[in-house]
Amino acid sequence: MTKTTSVVGLAGGMMLRVKQHGQGVVGEIIMPDANGQDSGTLLFHSPPHSSVEELTQWSNLAVRAYVEG
């Protein structure tokens, strides 16, 4: 199991759980529950990226596409 290293806020109030993956990072894009804790509904997993910044950019684009349908 891969350990969560950080949680990043995304556009639209979504959250990104960042996890180490080899030499890079992967993430889980989450729609938070009403209680605002680090829980919620998993929307999707991200592909591996080399940095948290790249992962965050990709995740914000993915959230935008999800919201716009």
Position 54 scores a pLDDT of: 96
Domain that holds residue 9: 4-68
CB 19 within 8 A of CB 4: yes
Render pLDDT for 12-37 as a digit per residue (tens, 0 to 9). Answer: 899 999 999 989 999 999 999 887 66
Residue 64's H or E segment, with its range, is helix 52-68
The sign of the dihedral angle between the CA atoms of 66, 57, 29, 46 is positive
**Tally of structural domains, the chain:** 1
Position 51 scores a pLDDT of: 95
Q: Is 67 left (phi over 0), alpha (psi -120 to 50) or beta?
A: alpha
Position 9 scores a pLDDT of: 92
Nearest to 51 by CA among 22, 28, 29: 22
Task: Indicate if the pLDDT at residue 3 is higher than 60.
Answer: yes
The pTM score is 0.85
